[in-house]
Amino acid sequence: MQILRNLMPLVVIVLASAGTNAGTLDTVKSKGAITCGVSQGLPGFSAPDGKGNWIGIDADFCRAVAAVVLGSPDKVKFRPLSTKEAFTALQFGEIHILSRNVTWTQTRDSALGVNFAGILYYDGQGFMVRRSLSVKSARELNGAAVCVNSGSTTELNLSDYFRTHKMKYSPVVFEKSDEVLAAYRAGRCDVFSTDQSGLYAQRLKLAKANEHMILPEIISKEPLGPAVRQGDDQWFNIVRWTLFALVGAEELGITKANIGSLSKNTGNPEIRRFVGTEGKAGINLGLDPKWAARAVTAVGNYGELFEKHLGKNSRLKISRGLNRLWNKGGLHYAPPIR
Partner 1 sequence: MQWTRQNLFSSWGNTLTTLLILAGLLWALVPLLDWLIVSADWRGSKRVDCSSGGACWVYVAERFDQFLYGFYPEEERWRVDLMAVVLLGSLSLFLWSRVSGRTATACVFLSLIIGWFTLTGGESSLPPIETRLWGGMMLTIVLTVGGLALAFPVAILLALGRRSTIPVVKIFCTAFIELWRGVPLITVLFMASVMLPLFLPDGASVDKLLRALIGVSLFAGAYLAEVIRGGLQAIPRGQYEAAAALGLGYWRTMYYVILPQALRHVIPGLLNTVIALFKDTTLVLIIGMFDFLGIIQASLNDQEWLGLAAEGYVFAGIIYWAICFSLSRMSKGIELRSNTHRV
Residues that bind partner 1 (CB under 8 A): 1, 3-4, 7, 11, 14-15, 18, 40-44, 47-50, 52, 55, 77, 79-82, 84-85, 88-89, 92-94, 178, 201, 204-207, 314-316
Q: For the CB of residue 272, give the shortest distance to partner 1 in the complex, in Å.
A: 37
- Expressed in angstroms, the distance from the first to the final Cα of the chain is 50
Strands (E), 200-284: 212-214, 222-224, 227-229
For the CB of residue 186, give the shortest distance to partner 1 in the complex, in Å. Answer: 14
Share in percent of the chain as helix, strand, coil (round to 5): 45, 15, 35
- In the complex, the smallest distance separating the C-beta of residue 254 from partner 1, rounded to whole angstroms, is 26
Q: How far is the CB of 67 from partner 1 (least distance, A)?
A: 21
Task: Please state the closest distance from residue 136 (CB atom) to partner 1, in A.
Answer: 26
User: How many C-alpha atoms does 151 have within 13 Å on its Cβ side?
Assistant: 4
> For residue 301, which of 242, 226, 261 has the smallest C-alpha distance?
242
Closer CB to partner 1, 20 or 170, in the complex: 20
CA distances for 28 relative to 22, 63, 68, 77, 99, angstroms: 12, 13, 12, 11, 16
Q: Which of 325, 335, 88, 331 is nearest to 227 (CA)?
A: 88
6 versus 261: smaller Cβ distance to partner 1: 6
Report how far residue 119's alpha carbon sits from residue 103's, in angstroms, rounded to the nearest whole number.
Answer: 9
**CA 46 distance to own-chain centroid:** 10
Rounded to whole angstroms, the Cα distance separating 154 from 131 reads 23
The least CB distance from residue 338 to partner 1, in Å, is: 38
Q: Rounded to the nearest whole angstrom, what is the least distance from the CB of residue 91 to partner 1 in the complex?
A: 9
Q: Which is nearer to partner 1, 139 or 188 (CB)?
A: 188
Question: Is the CB of 29 or the CB of 221 nearer to partner 1?
Answer: 29
Of the two residues 4 and 186, which places its CB atom closer to partner 1 in the complex? 4
The separation between CA 149 and the C-alpha centre of its own chain, rounded to angstroms, equals 20
129 touches 193 (CB < 8 A): no
Q: Between residues 78 and 169, which has the closer beta carbon with respect to partner 1?
A: 78
CB atoms within 10 A of CB 73: 19
Instruction: Decide: 266 and 276 in contact? Cβ < 8 Å.
Output: no
**166 vs 208, which CB is nearer to partner 1?**
208
Rounded to a whole number of angstroms, the minimum distance from the CB of residue 184 to partner 1 is: 13
Output 208 or 264, the one with its CB closest to partner 1: 208
